[in-house]
Amino acid sequence: MSRYWSDIVSKLRPYVAGEQPRIPGLVKLNTNENPYGPSPKAIEAIRQTADDRLRLYPDPAAIELREAIAARFDVTVEEVFVGNGSDELLAHTFQALLKHDRPLLYPDVTYSFYPTYSLLYDVEAIEVPLDDQFRIRLSDYDRPCGAIIIPNPNAPTGIGLPLSGIEALLAAHPDAVVVIDEAYVDFGGESAVPLISRYPNLLVIQTFSKSRSFAGLRVGFALGHRDLIEALVRVKDSFNSYPLDRLAQVAATAAIKDEAWFETSRRKIIATRENLIRELEALDFEVLPSLANFIFARHESRPGAALLAGLRERGVLVRHFAKPRISEFLRISIGTDEECARLVAALKEILAA
């Protein structure tokens, strides 16, 4: 705390990201990164662009990238917004679309950036409890509200919602923006993008960080009615006209066009996930039904914090949230088959001790 700070700073509760330690040989399953690299075509695009042109500002509207995204999702370019990771998009969304006289609704167990942004942008929020099986019960959202934000699949549970439920939610709240955060949808979920043409209150947010393996590049995008997109553009252009640099724009454009790479990588991750779930269940873990590139699991007798520490001693990093209801769970990102085998071997050692 310093006397030079603006008032709001001391009230903020900043998001704590999973650690990025520089320990060689570590099995890093703590931040839901993709274990396979991004499309080689995207890396080549960066190589081709890393030259003297970097002295010039990038296209502030990222037209080529937005056209490529529009073509991939069968929407118009006016229905696409891009930003520096979906976190930045979420921030702009909280400020531009989620602050109203009535409260914002989101699940009590969800992406922990939502409460952080609510404080930053002074958005009144109500946390709607998950049911006793850690599922989002959409009927609980049938109450007066200014807006709703839900990840599908939810994080950190990995549990998905059917499209029919999301459509019913949109229809029940024509006066509220409903944001569906689809950071993990490509690992088995049902995307709400096809509903955009019929629901002007729907904003879908996706990211290149997970299924397109570009967490280090920072590119996310939002799809929705042009009026919603215009609100985001107004906030962006009052904040930073150039959130995506030249390299990010060309790489993301190449990545979104490389459907074959995307398919292969996401299918490998889904297959490894299903295998890992079976192995953990055999070790007496309860694993929530995941449609994401991570699983959320608790052991029938060993505390989550102890397992976390035991794994760390054995060079395996996973994520643990010391929060009510979920403190016995570990969130484990899906790595390669070899990485998951090391995780399972470490868990067997710990459980045998």
Ligand X SMILES: Cc1ncc(COP(=O)(O)O)c(C=O)c1O
Residues near ligand X (CB under 6 A) are: 32, 85-87, 111, 151, 155, 181, 183, 207, 209, 215, 220
* Whole-number Å distance between alpha carbons of 90 and 146: 16
CB nearer to ligand X: give 75 or 222.
222
Tokens of residue 12, six digits: 């903020």
Q: Nearest approach, Cβ of 149 to ligand X (angstroms)?
A: 10
Do the beta carbons of residue 307 and residue 299 sit within 8 Å? yes
Q: What is the dihedral of CA 148, 233, 194, 73, to 10 degrees?
A: -140
Cβ-based nearer residue to ligand X, 158 or 299: 158
* Cβ distance to ligand X smaller for residue 205 or 347: 205
**Residue in the structure block whose two tokens are 């390669």:** 336
CB of 240 to ligand X, least distance (A): 15
Task: Report the nearest approach of ligand X to the CB of residue 182 (Å).
Answer: 8
Specify the amino acid at residue 232.
Answer: L
Q: Which of 320, 230, 317, 264 is nearest to 37 (CA)?
A: 264
Give 106's strand partners: 127
Q: How far is the CB of 317 from ligand X (least distance, A)?
A: 15
Give 90 or 307: the residue with its C-beta nearer to ligand X: 90
Q: How far is the CB of 116 from ligand X (least distance, A)?
A: 12
Closer CB to ligand X, 15 or 310, in the complex: 15
Cα separation, 58 vs 87, in Å, equals 21
Tokens representing residue 17 in the block? 């990201």
Helix (H) or strand (E) holding 80: strand 80-83
